[in-house]
């Protein structure tokens, strides 16, 4: 007997067929709503998998589309509830878009969740169903399949694969109430992450608790309660002696755990805390007895990593500074706490032209402790590889700001794991920096506060906090209008009609014309051609340092409000003022018209042969170059791009060798993650856009060290950004 859902499905199936759907999807690609790859994948599923049910194919297309937007899976319930949140690439200013939106709404409105899930679960050729208790489903795949990749010694690496569905390109998982459709590879990444973390959560490290308090006292001072000032002598503007010491609590909890997350906003002491934690772990690893027969101390092998070269360089600098603050100083701790931070790709050992790494379950990293900074930028794929590459007994410590934008790639692992965490300090009067979930994962997370860089009393700290908590636009604008105190970080806002507005030109002139701007140094401090190379290295180092003084950020890539339009606009403005050299001065550079002295560029793809990482910023400079050959020998000038090295020096690269770079007078907020600038300006477009969210505003504001400027045209756009949240479907949220 057919149930009600099945009858409905017959009805909807009758009303159109898979060919109609594929034709619609083709139009959606034309309208920019889907990628060509989404359509190709759906066609493949229809043709190779023999799927004729249009509603199943629609789910497949949307799963692929969501994946392209950083979602690990398609949340079927959310899709039916809010169809307008799908197809985020669809631009509202194109003629086709109302029609595409309407078509999608109609198609989804005709669906019943249970019936849709049942039909997906029965599409055996292409989908492995992993949800128990679905009605009308004749077969549920076994989540622990014999072909699992785990080993007897390390069951955490077991990779579930469904019996009978082993090769299916999609997986239906989640729960009957919240069904999730995955591309198989992403489901597997999540499974590996979950298993890797779970195995660590249930196997604590045995420590000598009797020694723990004494070591914590040595690192944080005697009192277990209030925040300490011992390490730096600084006081947080909002410091209150009654506040619990979150940093100490983090170290205490992390000491016996194999998996731990230290999260917090800018300047809340994540690096300070992790350096103390590493010192604590080494102290606990030292034998207690120091007599002649005492066992030899074998220090823990520690590896430090970050997702980008930029973040790695910043942490390297910060760790080196923090080692001095430890009791005993860098001399005592330098030999057992490394300050050199690697990129995650380097740590895992990239294999050229492959998604795989040299380190994996069968060849794990020789490390006892791995610390990953800026973990909010690590996507599911990389996190799965990292967990695979850890020895079963190795500890993993993640640092990051859970409220920041996540990686552009699929998955927001840190945010998902911290999902039960409150925005800002928790309301628990007892332990405001810990979660009250009681789950093993909840116990392994500490949220640091307050910020030692920004007070909540006003300026940057107050604005970031208001945005994070979804404040209303009037309150945000009030904060901008309040009397500014440079000690709290200046914030200002300006209304502009568009990037041609004189207020925009004025801000650019102020930023790039200032005596301490990089362009000023480039023009006025250049050494004479006949001096030693060291003078040019120093000049370049000063320019690279000065480049961190100001950065324009935008949420968009294309159009006049996006990086492309803004870069052109700024270059034209700076040329008008004679502050930038003309393009193509050096005809030997490849694509000479693109290259000119003063062009700041960001590397957009790791280049191991040049040792340049995604996110590295360099500046194009004109430097003397010898001319070889007989009578004409002498010097000429040549364009070179100067990049900072981890050791504080400068590396020169020929422009022609740089394969993937973009100009960064303006930079997307996404690309600015992991970087900080003294002054950042965020320019908002003149109409709403799905990328405008609280997380984006928060990330942009917290890139500023001393000043933040908001340039906007419509208050309504700012209001919408303040109310929208990044929503990423993932199976890592929820029960642990
Ligand atoms: N308990 C503390 N007492 C006083 N100052 C502190 C304390 N903890 C950290 N600081 C200081 O606050 C500043 C920021 O600390 P730290 O770099 O550790 O924070 P973070 O969270 O890692 O910052 P970022 O936003 O750069 O990631 C540093 O100057 C540090 O010395």
State yes or no: pLDDT of 155 exceeds 50.
Answer: no
Please indicate if the annotation marks 548 as binding a ligand: no
Q: Is residue 103 domain-shared with residue 175, that is, in the same domain?
A: yes
Q: How far is the CA of 672 from the centre of ligand 1 (A)?
A: 20
Asked if residue 40 belongs to a domain, the reply is yes
Tell whether residue 52 is among the known ligand binding residues. no
Query: 298 C-alpha vs ligand 1 centroid, how far in Å?
Result: 30
The count of other CB atoms within 10 Å of the CB of residue 255 is 23
Residue 423 or 264, more confident? 264
Q: Is 562 in the pocket of ligand 1 (CB under 6 A)?
A: no
Same domain, 178 and 44: yes
Residues 221 and 73 both lie in one domain: no
Residue 516 sits in the same domain as residue 554? yes
Distance (angstroms) between ligand 1 centre and the Cα of 736 equals 31
Q: Is 363 in the same domain as 487? A: no
- Say if residue 617's pLDDT is above 60: yes
Instruction: Kindly state whether residues 470 and 420 are assigned to the same domain.
Output: no
Number of domains in the chain: 3
Interface confidence (ipTM) of the complex = 0.98
Categorize the per-residue pLDDT at 209 as very low, low, confident or very high, splitting at 50, 70 and 90. Answer: confident
Cα(226) to centroid(ligand 1), Å? 16
Q: Are the beta carbons of 128 and 162 closer than 8 angstroms? A: yes
Question: What is the DSSP track for 174-236?
Answer: E-SSSEEEEEHHHHHHHHHHHHHHHHHHTSPPP--HHHHHHHHHHHH-S-SSSPP-TTTS---
Q: Is the CB of 229 under 6 A from ligand 1?
A: yes
Question: Could you say which of 126, 160, 190 is where a domain stops?
Answer: 190
Report the distance separating Cα 606 and Cα 612, nearest Å.
6
Instruction: Identify the residue whose C-alpha is closest to ligand 1 atom 8.
Output: 269
What is the tens place of the pLDDT at every residue in 440-462? 898 899 999 888 888 777 889 89
**pLDDT (mean) for 392-396:** 97
CATH of the domain at 585: 3.40.50.300
Pair 58, 153 in one domain? yes
Query: Inter-axis angle of helices 113-121 and 54-67, to 10 degrees?
Result: 90
d(CA 641, CA 582): 16
For residue 568, tell me if it sits in a domain. yes
Q: What is the pLDDT of residues 463-482, one digit of tens each?
A: 998 898 888 888 888 888 88
Residue 137 is classified by DSSP as -
pLDDT category of residue 278 using cuts at 50, 70 and 90: very high
Asked if residue 24 has its Cβ within 6 Å of ligand 1, the reply is: no
Same domain, residue pair 427 and 476:
no
- Is any atom of ligand 1 closer than 6 Å to the C-beta of 713? no
Residue 270 in contact with ligand 1 by CB distance below 6 A: yes
Q: Does the annotation list 264 as a binding residue?
A: yes
**Measured from the CA of 452, which atom of ligand 1 is nearest?**
12
Task: Name the closest-CA residue to atom 18, ligand 1.
Answer: 269
In a domain, 487, yes or no: yes
Say if ligand 1 is within 6 A of residue 271 CB: yes
Beta-carbon contacts of residue 322 (< 8 Å; ≥ 6 apart): 231, 271, 272, 275
For the chain, give the percent of residues with pLDDT over 70. 83
Average pLDDT score over residue span 168-194:
93
Distance of CA 652 to the CA centre of its chain: 28
Answer yes or no: is 80 within a domain. Answer: yes
Q: Which atom of ligand 1 is nearest to the CA of 247?
A: 1
Query: Per-residue pLDDT for 732 more than 90?
Result: no
Q: What is the pTM of this model?
A: 0.82
Per-residue pLDDT tens digits for 89-104: 666 556 667 788 888 8
CA–centroid distance, residue 272 to ligand 1 (Å): 6
3-state secondary structure 520-547: HHHHHCCCCCCCCHHHHHHHHHHHHHHH
Q: Which of 272, 341, 374 is the pocket-test mutation for ligand 1 (most atoms within 8 Å of CB)?
A: 272
The torsion of the CA quartet 348, 354, 360, 365, rounded to 10 degrees, works out to -20
Tens digits of per-residue pLDDT, 322-357?
A: 898 888 888 889 899 998 899 899 999 988 878 899
Do 585 and 558 fall within a single domain? yes
Band of residue 309 on the pLDDT scale cut at 50, 70, 90: confident
pLDDT of 365 reads 97
How many Cβ atoms sit within 10 Å of the Cβ of residue 589? Answer: 22
Judge if 373 and 303 occupy the same domain: yes
Strand partners, 143: none
Question: How far does the centroid of ligand 1 lie from the alpha carbon of residue 208, in Å?
Answer: 28
Task: Report yes or no on 650 lying in a domain.
Answer: no
The distance between the two most distant Cα atoms of the chain, rounded to a whole number of Å, is: 97
Q: Find the 402 Cα to ligand 1 centroid distance in Å.
A: 17
Which residue's CA lies nearest to atom 5 of ligand 1? 234
Cα of 453 vs centre of ligand 1, distance in Å, is 7
**How much is the average pLDDT of 81-85?**
81
Give the residue, 515 or 150, on which the prediction is more confident: 515
Average pLDDT, integer, range 396-414: 86
Rounded to the nearest angstrom, the distance between the alpha carbon of 310 and the centre of ligand 1 is 18
pLDDT confidence tier of residue 241, bands split at 50, 70 and 90: low
Q: Work out the average pLDDT over 258-268.
A: 92
Q: Ligand 1: which residue has its CA nearest to atom 11?
A: 452
Atom of ligand 1 nearest to the CA of 374: 27
At 314, the pLDDT band (50, 70, 90 cuts) reads: confident
Domain, as residue range, for 482: 459-594+664-723
Last residue of a domain, one of 447, 474, 489: 447
pLDDT tens-place string over residues 643-695: 998 677 899 999 989 989 999 999 999 988 878 899 999 999 998 887 889 99
In 3D space, the residue among 426, 412, 419, 423 whose CA is nearest the CA of residue 442 turns out to be 419
Does the pLDDT value for residue 7 go beyond 80?
Answer: no
Asked if residue 232 has its Cβ within 6 Å of ligand 1, the reply is yes
608 pLDDT above the threshold of 60: yes
Q: Residue 270 Cα, ligand 1 centroid: separation in angstroms?
A: 7
Q: Is 270 annotated as a binding residue?
A: yes
User: Which of 727, 605, 529, 552 shows the shortest CA–CA distance to 81?
Assistant: 727
Average pLDDT rounded to a whole number, residues 507-525: 92
* CB of 268 closer than 6 angstroms to any ligand 1 atom: yes
In 3-state terms, what secondary structure has residue 128? strand
Cα separation of the two ends of the chain: 39
CA distances to 599, 623, 644, 674 from 641, rounded to whole Å, are 9, 10, 10, 22
267, pLDDT greater than 80: yes
- Residue 553 in any domain: the answer is yes
647 lies in some domain: no
Report how far residue 665's alpha carbon sits from residue 667's, in angstroms, rounded to the nearest whole number: 7
pLDDT, average across residues 412-429: 67
Per-residue pLDDT, 428: 46
State residue 229's pLDDT score: 39
Whether residue 609 is contained in a domain is answered as: no
pLDDT over 50 (residue 367): yes
Residues 391 and 312 in one domain: yes
Domain-ending residue, one of 422, 447, 472: 447
* CB neighbourhood size of 662 (10 A): 17
Instruction: Please tell me whether residues 167 and 263 are part of one structural domain.
Output: no
**Helices vs. strands in the chain: H and E counts, helices first:** 26, 20
| Dist. CA 272–CA 450, nearest whole Å | 13
Our answer on whether the CB atom of 517 is closer than 6 Å to any ligand 1 atom is: no
Across the range 288-293, mean pLDDT stands at 62
């Amino acid at each position: 007997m057919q149930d009600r859902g099945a009858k409905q499905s017959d009805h909807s199936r009758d009303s159109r067929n898979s060919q109609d759907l594929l034709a619609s999807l083709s139009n959606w690609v034309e309208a920019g709503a889907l990628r060509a790859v989404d359509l190709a994948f759906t066609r493949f599923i229809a043709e190779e998998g023999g799927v004729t049910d249009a509603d199943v194919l629609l789910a497949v297309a949307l799963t692929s589309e969501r994946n392209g937007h950083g979602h690990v899976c398609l949340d079927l319930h959310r899709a039916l509830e809010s169809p307008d949140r799908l197809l985020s690439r669809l631009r509202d200013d194109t003629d086709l878009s109302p029609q595409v939106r309407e078509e999608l709404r109609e198609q989804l409105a005709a669906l019943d969740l249970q019936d849709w899930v049942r039909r997906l679960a029965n599409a055996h050729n292409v989908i492995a169903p992993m949800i128990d208790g679905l009605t009308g489903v004749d077969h549920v795949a076994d989540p622990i399949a014999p072909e699992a990749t785990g080993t007897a010694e390390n069951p955490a690496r077991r990779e579930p694969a469904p019996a009978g569905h082993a090769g299916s390109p999609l997986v239906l998982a989640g729960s009957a109430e919240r069904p999730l459709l995955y591309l198989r590879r992403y489901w597997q990444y999540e499974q590996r992450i979950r298993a890797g973390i779970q195995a660590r959560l249930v196997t604590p490290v045995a420590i000598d608790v009797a020694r723990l308090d004494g070591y914590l006292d040595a690192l944080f001072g005697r009192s277990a309660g209030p925040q300490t000032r011992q390490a730096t002598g600084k006081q947080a503007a909002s410091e209150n002696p009654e506040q619990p010491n979150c940093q100490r609590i983090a170290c205490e909890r992390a000491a016996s755990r194999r998996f731990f997350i230290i999260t917090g906003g800018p300047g809340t002491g994540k690096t300070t805390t992790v350096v103390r934690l590493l010192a604590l772990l080494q102290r606990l690893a030292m034998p207690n007895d120091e007599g002649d027969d005492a066992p030899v101390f074998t220090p823990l092998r520690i590896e430090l990593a970050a997702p980008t070269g930029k973040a790695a360089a910043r942490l390297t600098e910060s760790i080196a500074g923090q080692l001095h603050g430890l009791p005993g100083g860098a001399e005592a701790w330098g030999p057992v706490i490394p300050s050199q931070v690697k990129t995650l790709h380097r740590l895992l050992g990239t294999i050229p032209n492959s998604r795989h790494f040299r380190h994996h379950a069968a060849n794990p990293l020789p490390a006892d402790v791995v610390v990953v900074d800026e973990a909010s930028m690590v996507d599911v794929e990389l996190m799965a590889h990292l967990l695979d590459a850890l020895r079963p007994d190795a500890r993993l410590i993640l640092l990051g700001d859970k409220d920041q934008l996540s990686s552009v790639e699929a998955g927001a692992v840190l945010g998902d794991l911290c999902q039960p965490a409150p925005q800002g300090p928790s309301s628990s009067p007892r332990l405001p920096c810990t979660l009250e979930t009681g789950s093993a994962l909840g116990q392994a997370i500490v949220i640091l506060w307050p910020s030692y860089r920004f007070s909540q009393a006003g300026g940057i700290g107050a604005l970031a906090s208001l945005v994070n908590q979804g404040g209303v636009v009037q309150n945000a604008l009030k904060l901008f209008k309040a009397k500014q105190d440079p000690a709290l970080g200046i914030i200002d806002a300006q209304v502009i009609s568009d990037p041609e507005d004189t207020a925009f030109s004025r801000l650019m002139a102020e930023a790039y014309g200032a005596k301490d701007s990089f362009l000023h140094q480039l023009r006025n401090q250049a050494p004479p051609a006949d001096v030693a190379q060291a003078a040019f290295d120093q000049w370049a180092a000063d320019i690279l340092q000065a480049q961190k003084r100001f950065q324009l950020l935008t949420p968009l890539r294309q159009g006049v409000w996006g990086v492309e339009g803004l870069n052109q606009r700024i270059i034209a403005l700076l040329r008008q003022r004679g502050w930038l050299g003309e393009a193509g001065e050096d005809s030997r550079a490849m694509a000479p018209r693109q290259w000119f002295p003063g062009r700041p560029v960001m590397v957009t793809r790791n280049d191991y042969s040049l040792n340049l990482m995604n996110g590295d910023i360099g500046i194009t400079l004109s430097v003397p170059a010898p001319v070889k050959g007989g009578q004409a020998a002498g010097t000429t000038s040549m364009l070179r791009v100067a990049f900072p090295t981890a050791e504080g020096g400068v590396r020169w690269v020929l422009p022609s060798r740089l394969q993937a770079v973009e100009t960064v007078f303006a930079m997307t907020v996404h690309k600015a993650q992991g970087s900080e600038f003294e002054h950042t300006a965020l320019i908002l477009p003149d109409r709403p856009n799905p990328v405008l969210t609280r997380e984006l505003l928060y990330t942009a504001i917290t890139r500023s060290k001393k000043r933040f400027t908001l340039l906007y045209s419509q208050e309504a756009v700012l209001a919408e950004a303040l109310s929208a949240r990044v929503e990423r479907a993932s199976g890592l949220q929820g029960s642990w």
